[in-house]
Amino acid sequence: MKQIIRTGLGMLLVLSLLLTAALAEGIVISDREKAIRLADKALEEKYGITQLTQEYFGRTATDEGNGTFVIEYKGQFDWAYVLGTYKVTVVNGAVTETIWTHDGEDTSGGLSATAWGNEQILEMLKLNQEYGDMDIIERKVQPINEKVGFTPTNDYTGDWDYVAVDDKENAKIPEQNGHTLQEYLDTAKEGIRIMYELSDEQAAKLSLAVVDAESDAYDYVYFHGVSCIRVAYILEGSEEPELLPSGVAYNDKEGNYWVYINVVTGAVEEITYSAAIGGNG
């Protein structure tokens, strides 16, 4: 119990420091995003799952009212069964429950196990990066799915389920409220820097993720029914990726970020991240 209390206080302290930094910069963070950051830290502390090893999960954050958020990380596609679902419940800014559908199961045996934890996810990332696709992992998981009687689907489950592309009517809202597009682009960048605890050097390398001259790094959407601007940033390093002990080449926090900003209030509603290993993201 003492360990749980220390852990909980540690997470709250970190979040408090992040929010203090956000307030100092004039950045408003939604209760949803606060709960997600607590859930991420709880997941790492209990299971070792980091931002990197969240790569093959779809995340949802459900507001159940009365200060309660349920954040779920669901394994996707062919590996949905072996990865399972992690669930973190946050009540009034405190983590009250962190569980996994495979709790208590044997995760030894590498990719032959029927439950894949952080060790197996790192192996997935390594293979994904080495081969550039998921074919080899699909071949390894197929006999497991057959053994347990699981039929995969191609349906993605994540917070992008709550996105509906707008007809750009929302583009008029920032100006109506005395805001500019540049203000929201700056808010998105600062929100990433603060909530993902980027160093000054990393923050300086954040750039808008413009694919080509015909596409913007932002669009206007409805997110959980709220009018938002969705801004895409990418963090790329000038150095070769570090080779982690797992064999994965990765520089901490590099990858793709999407920030949802409420165009009425200017608050950061949510931030999502992908390390973009092997072409993902």
pLDDT at 89: 97
pLDDT at 51: 94
pLDDT at 210: 77
The predicted-structure confidence for 171-193, as pLDDT tens digits, reads as follows: 666 666 677 889 999 999 999 99
Per-residue pLDDT tens listing for the chain (281 residues): 333 434 455 555 555 555 555 555 678 999 999 999 999 999 999 999 999 999 999 999 999 999 999 999 999 999 999 999 999 999 999 999 999 999 999 999 999 999 999 999 999 999 999 888 889 999 999 999 999 999 988 776 766 656 766 656 666 666 666 778 899 999 999 999 999 999 999 999 999 997 555 557 888 888 888 888 899 999 997 678 889 999 999 999 999 999 999 988 889 999 999 998 865 55
pLDDT at 225: 82
Q: Where are the domains of the chain?
A: 2-279
The predicted-structure confidence for 97-127, as pLDDT tens digits, reads as follows: 999 999 999 999 999 999 999 999 999 999 9
pLDDT at 14: 54
Pick the closest to residue 73 from 52, 59, 54, 92 (CA basis): 59
pLDDT at 219: 85
Pick the closest to residue 194 from 8, 27, 39, 7 (CA basis): 27
Report how far apart, in Å, the C-alpha atoms of 255 and of each of 47, 128, 136, 241, 266 are.
22, 15, 23, 11, 24
Token pair for 225:
């029914």
